[in-house]
Structure 1
Amino acid sequence: MENRRSLSQPLLSSTSAAPTTPTSPNLSNHAVLLRLLLVAVVGLTSLWANHEASKGFDITILNNAKGSSAGQRFDLFYVSNDEATRLLLNASNFIQNLIYPSQDLPKKIIKSVHLTLSLRDLSSNVAVEQLDGGVDFAVHLSPSIFNDTNMNHAMSTAILRGMSRVWLWNGEGHAPPSLLDGMVEHIVAAAGFVEKKYSGGAVGTLAACEPMWWKDKDPMEIATFLDYHERQGEGFIQRLNQALRSRWQDRTVDNVLGLPDQRPCGSFNTSGSL
């Protein structure tokens, strides 16, 4: 009987060598470049993700003064090179390390910050607006910043002041603005941006005898007293900020200081302060 070839048997011998296609050097180099590009993209994506995670909140830079001299300089020196974002993040990190030095201290939740150059001059270099929801903030910069002889210093200080107001608790919206302004100036001084110094020495009886010594006072004067209490008991500013998580009471500051209802009178020495 005639032998028949099984259909399962390969038509080509298993010993036959498969034809090879010569690899072009150009194709090989192209493949290497593609791999390197892929690695770079993955690396950059990872760095960006880490950057976004580290800042913890969204940042939007807005220029409402486009076309003006201030708006053009803002775009050139602070927007095109991301300098505004860097200044904001540096200020935010400094403030958080100062007033929230421990993870045990409850921290404000900040979802987003809109850094905006205003169209018209403001009454000061910076103003902060809390948007709907309480976790979004607008930091408005005044175009007058660009009239300063030291523009970079003015911009850095304005952003530091603005972010200080963002991160500080405010007694559920009832803390005295003068006290908050004084706390902001204390932070500004701690960062080395001191625009005015007191000579020190005996400073009246304001902090010793007046129950509400922060009311309607100059922010720099309040900052001087805050600095004095900080030097008397390290961590005072952190404790005061934490106390402002709750609704403001007239005795909030005295409670943080541990002062009795009847305050002892007498002046104190502020040498070495701001």
Structure 2
Amino acid sequence: MEDRQSLSLPLLPGTSAAVTPTSPNQSPSLSNHAVAVRLLLVAFIGITSLWANHEASKGFDITILNNAKGSPAGQRFDLFYVSNDEATRLVLNASNFVENLIYPSQTFPKKKVKSVHLTLSLRDLPSNVAVEHLDGGVDFVVYLSPSIFNDRNVNHAMSAAILRGMSRVWLWNGEGYAPPSLLAGMVEHITASAGFVEKKYSGGVVTTLMACDPMWWKDKDPTEVAIFLEYQERQQKGFIQRLNQGLKSRWQDRTVEDAVGVPGERQCDSFNSSGIKV
């Protein structure tokens, strides 16, 4: 079963309401009622037009695919997420959150996204979600693992997985050369910002393993990278947005330094002496 919804909707034509003069035999109350009805109609059309503009501004198509139709997970996906358009709504909500976070204004050029294919995979994936860039880099497939339906809170797991997927869709990737651990850490930071991490980086003191080094973004656990990102964001508001913009160009080791504004050694001196809880 395939559910395809285009978000590039045409604008609705405007209408004007002409109020005819009250005839001698027409009561004022009937005339006022007619005017009120027409005003409500105009308001409804205006609101609908605004909604259409909002949807059109998203500018990408959404396709929902179920590659596990015969399985229990596939049947539940169809019932709870496809038949009622819930999957499409989750994609839109996640996309809106990510866009507002990393592209807060027009001064931050936005990545072009033409289409997103949300696909329930036939077999379990190593994680709940995976993202594939199709030819041209503007079309994306967000794969969902059927194992999501084994979670005690399926809706929470599904929402978090789609948010992670849409984060990968919207983040620049240094022309394909950014360290995977950095991108994964940025995804975790966005996920935590949306409230999908129950205990946001708390529970103990910094360990030797966690101590920052000048290339703290390289070959680290995504949660550890997210801790460093969160720290830098608190130190310099807008750091995440600047880092994402830096990833628009081909990745270089100084990309992070340029976003922070100080060398890696000084970044770590500040972090290691902060006593931050992790």
After TM superposition, is the score higher than 0.5? Answer: yes
Which residues of structure 1 form unaligned runs of 5+?
Answer: 1-38
* Cα distance change, pair 267–66 in 1 and its aligned pair in 2 (3 A): same
Name the structure 2 match of 1:33: none
Name the structure 2 match of 1:216: 219
Question: Does the Cα contact within 8 Å between 1:204 and 1:267 map onto a contact in 2?
Answer: no
Question: Does the Cα contact within 8 Å between 1:88 and 1:163 map onto a contact in 2?
Answer: yes
Name the structure 2 match of 1:159: 162
In our comparison, the structure showing a higher alpha carbon Rg is: 1
Question: Does the Cα contact within 8 Å between 1:113 and 1:136 map onto a contact in 2?
Answer: yes
Which amino acid is 1:214 matched to?
W
Name the structure 2 match of 1:193: 196
Matched, 1:97 2:97: no
Name the structure 1 match of 2:66: 63
Question: Does the Cα contact within 8 Å between 2:192 and 2:200 map onto a contact in 1?
Answer: no
- Following superposition, the deviation at residue 260 of structure 1 comes to 3.2
2:241 counterpart SS class: helix
Which residues of structure 2 form unaligned runs of 5+?
Answer: 1-40
> Stretches of 4+ moved more than 6 A in 1?
205-208
Task: Give per-residue Cα distances to partners, 1:173-210, cap 9 Å, x unaligned.
Answer: 00000000000000000000005543366525788862
* Cα distance change, pair 200–102 in 1 and its aligned pair in 2 (3 A): farther
**How many pairs align?**
234
2:62 counterpart SS class: strand
Name the structure 2 match of 1:270: 276
Name the structure 2 match of 1:14: none
TM-score by length of 1: 0.78
1:227 counterpart SS class: helix
Name the structure 2 match of 1:246: 249
Distance 1:207 1:174 in 2: 24
Task: Give per-residue Cα distances to partners, 1:100-140, cap 9 Å, x unaligned.
Answer: 00111100000000000000100000000000011000000
- Following superposition, the deviation at residue 251 of structure 1 comes to 1.6
Distance 1:181 1:136 in 2: 20
Name the structure 2 match of 1:122: 125
After superposition, the CA RMSD in angstroms is: 2.6
Name the structure 2 match of 1:176: 179
Match of 1:256 among 251, 256, 259: 259
1:172 counterpart SS class: helix
Distance 1:255 1:92 in 2: 27
* Cα distance change, pair 118–201 in 1 and its aligned pair in 2 (3 A): closer
Distance 1:205 1:256 in 2: 26
* Cα distance change, pair 200–259 in 1 and its aligned pair in 2 (3 A): farther
* Cα distance change, pair 210–261 in 1 and its aligned pair in 2 (3 A): closer
- Following superposition, the deviation at residue 267 of structure 1 comes to 3.0
* Cα distance change, pair 102–193 in 1 and its aligned pair in 2 (3 A): same
Question: Does the Cα contact within 8 Å between 2:210 and 2:224 map onto a contact in 1?
Answer: no
Distance 2:50 2:80 in 1: 24
